[in-house]
A and B are shown apart, each in its own frame.
Chain A
Amino acid sequence: MTRLRLSMPGLDLKNPIMPASGCFGFGKEFSEFYDLSELGAVIIKAATGETRYGNPTPRVAETSAGMLNAIGLQNPGVDRIISEELPYLSEYNAPVIANVAGSTVEEYVEVAEKISRDHTINALELNISCPNVKEGGVQFGTDAALAAEVTRQVKQASEVPVYVKLSPNVTDIVGMAKAVEKAGADGLSMINTLAGMRLDLHRRKPIIANQTGGLSGPAIKPIAIRMIYQVYQEVDIPIIGMGGIETVEDIIEFLLAGASAVAVGSANFKNPFICKELIDQLPEAMERYGFDQVEEMIGGAHR
C-alpha cells in the first residue's frame, strides 16, 4: 500500500495514522486487539524524570461531543519506561515517538537525553502543553520565550528529531509555532487538549478531582483544524495533527488543513480498534475525494 506512505523527520511512515500520546499507554493493551505493526507510528505515554502518580480520581468526565481528562502525567519514570516498556514495543514494526514531559528545563533535557538514545525511539514529542499538572507542562507552552528555550535545549540533548506539541490554550498559536521552529524544532504536533471544567449539580463541585481537565474529542476538532490551517501557512516544518479525529473524512480534513500525519486520541476509548479501522478505510476515502497519494492531500486547502 505505497499510496499511504510518507516521510517526516525521523519517521518513515507506512500510513499517516498513529495513536496519540496518553490514549494508548505503551501499546501493550491494544496489541490484544490488533497487530501494532499496522500503525503508521505509536506515540507513547508521557515520560518524566521520576515516577509520577498523577492526580486524584475522578480523572475523566464525559462532555457534549468530547471528554475531560486530568490524569496528571502518571508514568513510571523514564528509566523504567526504557527498561520495562520499550522492549515490548521494539518487537513491532512501527516507528515509536516518545512524549517527553517535565517540571523544569533540566528534567525535559534529562528525559530527552535518556529516551532518545534508546534504539526503539525514532522521534520525540516535546510535551509543553499538558494542562493537568501544576508545574511545567503548559506554562512552557503558553510563553513563546520559555517554549523556545526548552525546545533549544531538548533539541541539543536529543539524538532524534523533536516534534513540539503545542497547546491551544494561547491567543497566538502562529507566534508559538514560529518561536519553536526558530529554536530548532523538526516538526510540530497539534493540538493538545483545551482546559475545561464540568460541575456536579448535586455536589455543586467540579466532577474532576483536579477541578479542571483537558477537553478532547470531536468538540475540539474545528479548533485544531483552524490552528493547523493558520500555522501551516507560516512555518516550514511538518505537522502531526490531532484533536477529535473519529473518521477517515476527519483525517482528510486535517491533511488538507496542513497536517502531514495524524494522531487519534480519545476515539481509542470508544473503539479500541479505531486506528486499524481508519487505516483500512483510508484508501477508499482517498479515492472518493480524488486523491491517489497521501502526499497530495497535505496542505491541499492552501493551493
Chain B
Amino acid sequence: MMIREEMEIIFHERIAEDTYRMTLQGDLPAEIRQPGQFVHILIDQSDSLRRPISIADADTAKQTLTILYKILGRGTAALSKKQSGDHLDVLGPGGNGFPIDSITAERALLVGGGIGVPPLYYLAKQLKEKGIEVTTVLGFQHEASVFFEEEFRELGEVFVTTNDGSYGNKGFVTEILPALEGRFDTYFSCGPAVMLKAVSEKLDGYEGYLSIEERLGCGVGACFACVVQAPEGDSKGYRKICHDGPVFRTGEVIL
C-alpha cells in the first residue's frame, strides 16, 4: 500500500558527477513489494509536483530505503542540498516493479543506462538471493559519471561502457550485448527510452522486462500524464507508467 510520510534522511553523499546516494528511514520500506518500485518525493512544500525516484535498495529490518539520483533540474538540485537529519515528504512505494516472485530465470542479464542503473541494484540483490546468476552491463557518459560498479561486481560479472571510452568499453551498452549471447535467458533493463528501444531490439526473442522513465503528474494513476501506448489490439490501448508500470514486459508497450 502507498503511504505518505515524513522520512528522515540518515545518509546522503555524492557518489559520482552530479549523482547522489541518499538513505531514508521510516515506515515506508515495509510496504515495498518488488524491486523497481519508486518513491514520489515532494522536495519543497512550495513545489507543485513531486519527483519520482526509483528505489535502489531497501532494508526492512532497519526501516531504510536508498535512492540514487542525478541532478537534472531545479528539483533534484534542491534535493542535493538536503542534509542528514532533515525530513522529506515521501509518497510511496509506487507502481509495479520487476515481478521477482514469478520470475523463472536461471541466468539474468541486467542492462542499465546512466540514472536508470539504480533500480537494477535492488533487483540484482534479490535475483542473487533466489540463486539466479546475474551478469550486468552498465552504460555511462564518461568516467566521472560511473557509479555502483563495485556494488554490482559483488553480485556477479560486470561490464562497463562509456560513450567516450574514458572508462571500460567505448560505446553504448548495446555494443556489448552480442558477446554475451548464450550467457543469459532473461534480461532486465532500465534507462533512457532510446536505450530501452535499442536493447529490446537487440535482444528480441528473449524474455525481457523494461523499466520506463517519464515525467509524472500524480504518481498514483489518476491524472493520465504518464501514459505509454500499448500495441494494436490491446483492449485499453495504453498503460499508465506510474500505476501499471514503471516495469513492463517487452511487447506490452510501444517504446
**A interface vs B, CB < 8 Å?**
22-25, 29-30, 32-33, 45, 51, 53-54, 57-63, 65-67, 69, 71, 74, 76, 217-218, 266, 268-273
Contacts and interface: CB of A to CB of B under 8 A. Distances in A.
Contacts of B243: 29
B83 interface: no
B219 interface: yes
9 contacts: A22-B223, A29-B220, A33-B2, A53-B238, A59-B224, A269-B49, A269-B223, A270-B42, A270-B49
Max count, chain B CB within 10 A of own CB: residue among A54, A61, A218, A270: A270
Nearest to A64: B48
A108 B223 CA distance: 22
Contacts of A58: 214-215, 225
A74 B227 contact: yes
Nearest to B51: A62
Contact of B50 (A25, A217, A270): A270
B46 interface: yes
B99 interface: no
Contacts of A30: 220, 222
Contacts of B227: 53-54, 57, 59, 74
Contacts of B238: 53, 74
Contacts of B91: 272
B224 A272 contact: no
B165 interface: no
Contacts of A33: 2
B128 interface: no
Contacts of A22: 223
Main secondary structure of the interface of A (DSSP, over half): loop
B217 A60 contact: yes
Interface of B: 1-2, 4, 42, 46-50, 75, 91, 214-229, 236-238, 243
B49 A69 contact: no
A53 B240 CA distance: 12
Nearest to A51: B237
Contact of B4 (A29, A61, A74, A273): A273
B222 A23 contact: yes
Contacts of B1: 32
B214 A65 contact: no
Q: Which has the most chain B C-beta neighbours within 10 Å: A22, A53, A59?
A: A59
Of all A-B residue pairs in the complex, the 5 with the closest CB atoms, nearest first, are A25-B222, A60-B225, A269-B218, A29-B222, A67-B48
Contacts of A270: 42, 47-50
Contacts of B237: 51, 53
A74 B224 contact: yes
Given A23-B223, A30-B222, A57 B214 contact: yes
A242 to B, nearest CB: 15
Given A270-B50, A272-B220, A59 B4 contact: no
B222 A24 contact: yes
A66 to B, nearest CB: 6
A69 B50 contact: no
A71 to B, nearest CB: 5
A71 B238 CA distance: 13
Contacts of A271: 4, 42
A57 B226 contact: yes
A60 B222 CA distance: 13
Contact of A25 (B4, B216, B221): B221
A59 B225 CA distance: 5
Contacts of A76: 236
Contacts of A71: 223-225
Contact of B49 (A23, A62, A272): A62
Nearest to A22: B223
Given A270-B47, A271-B4, A272-B4, 16 more contacts: A23-B223, A25-B222, A25-B223, A58-B225, A59-B224, A59-B226, A60-B215, A65-B46, A69-B225, A71-B224, A71-B225, A217-B48, A218-B48, A269-B218, A270-B50, A272-B218
A76 B227 CA distance: 13
Contacts of B4: 271-273
A65 B48 CA distance: 6
A223 B238 CA distance: 35
Contacts of A217: 48
B71 to A, nearest CB: 14
Contacts of B222: 23-25, 29-30, 268
B218 A67 contact: no
Contacts of B214: 57-58
Contacts of A53: 227, 229, 237-238
